[in-house]
Amino acid sequence: MKAKTRLFTQYLLNRKYFLILCFLFAIVNLLVGYVYQLPLERALLAIAICGFLTVIIGAFDFYQFYEKHTKLASLYKQEVIDLKKLPEVKNLIENDYQEVVQKIQERLLKLENDSAQSEQEILDYFTTWVHQIKVPISALHLILQEHDQENSDEMEEQLFKIDQYVNLILQYVRLGSSSTDYHFQEVNLDELIRENIKKYAPSFIRKNLALQYEPTNFYLITDPKWLGFVIDQLLSNALKYTNKGAITIYLEKQALVIEDTGIGILPEDLPRIGKRNFTGFTGRKHKNATGIGFYLCKQIAQKLGHSIILSSVPKKGTKVSIQFDEQDILTK
């Protein structure tokens, strides 16, 4: 009711010059009758008739005003606006407005097409670059096999990190691409976990860290490539910030948990962890931290329909949980 009253008020304000003209006409009619000493009833009758006709025409005009407003409000709520559904043009000004809107939409579509093309070109470039850089990385792995074991292990570790950073930038670009697709299928969670454990086995040995892991026997519907990337990054972070103790991987209430005994995160940093480029105190202490990895994990988990919950105690460790939606979980 309040909305309609407000709309009617707006209508009256929109027709204020016409209403002022009607009021002046009534005054002039009375003055003319007074000057010519005509009966007052005649002037009042003329005013009453004109007023009645004004109300009838005004009611019809307000109805059209209301219909047009309702249609435009409905179009405004739509994600994509079809200009063909705009209200019918009633005068030259409305036609001018619609032509301006049409031109704006055409320019917007052109900008979107140019942006999509530019985005695809950047993605293609980075994809090509990643594949090209992997060739010398693989060659270096082969060369290192011929050198003494102690130096080779250290260089292998650095090459592994380079490979990680290369994959990280590729996933960063892909995640922001509108052409990124997701292939959901039945996934054995243990297969993804074992694949990443195998990849990081040399790092566990090198840092003399214990790994505590028991098979989860857990199946769900998700994208294995993207979920595998999330597990990879979480395990990488756990290894990066843990120098002693153990890393534990287990299932807890339909959530995959990766828990470490590392340096932990300050309480004031926890709410901002996962925001783009935020590293917090830990990042300032470890200069190679960028904050991109965990940011990507949260973004990917959201797109997959999962969620990531983080808890930590400084100098005691961090616990990261990937919470799966019940409708994605399969029973075996």
The pLDDT score that the predictor gives to residue 253 is 84
Query: Would the pLDDT of 238 be above 70?
Result: yes
Residues 15-32: what's their mean pLDDT?
87
The pLDDT score that the predictor gives to residue 81 is 76
Top-ranked range on mean pLDDT: pick from 64-68, 143-147, 181-185:
64-68
Classify burial at 125, counting beta carbons within 10 Å of its beta carbon; exposed 0-12, middle 13-18, buried 19 or more: exposed
pTM, 2 dp: 0.58
The pLDDT score that the predictor gives to residue 41 is 84
103-117, 154-168, 318-332: the lowest-pLDDT one: 154-168
What is the CB neighbour count within 10 angstroms for residue 131? 11
Residues 280-291: what's their mean pLDDT?
58
What is the CB neighbour count within 10 angstroms for residue 159? 17
Reported as a pLDDT band with limits 50, 70 and 90, residue 56 is very high
Please say whether the beta carbons of 67 and 86 come within 8 A. no
The pLDDT score that the predictor gives to residue 257 is 92
3-12, 55-64, 189-198, 297-306: the lowest-pLDDT one: 3-12
Residues 41-69: what's their mean pLDDT?
87
Name the average pLDDT for the chain: 81
Domain range list for the chain: 2-88, 122-175, 185-330
In the block, residue with structure tokens 């959530």: 255
The pLDDT score that the predictor gives to residue 231 is 92
Reported as a pLDDT band with limits 50, 70 and 90, residue 291 is low
Fold of 185-330: Heat Shock Protein 90 (3.30.565)
Residues 18-25: what's their mean pLDDT?
88
Q: Quote the CA–CA distance of 23 and 17 in Å, as a whole number.
A: 10
The pLDDT score that the predictor gives to residue 129 is 72
The residue among 138 and 92 whose pLDDT is bigger is 92
Query: Would the pLDDT of 182 be above 70?
Result: yes
Reported as a pLDDT band with limits 50, 70 and 90, residue 269 is confident
Reported as a pLDDT band with limits 50, 70 and 90, residue 281 is low
Please say whether the beta carbons of 234 and 258 come within 8 A. yes
The residue among 2 and 32 whose pLDDT is bigger is 32
pLDDT in tens, 99-142: 888 888 888 888 888 887 777 777 776 777 776 777 777 777 67
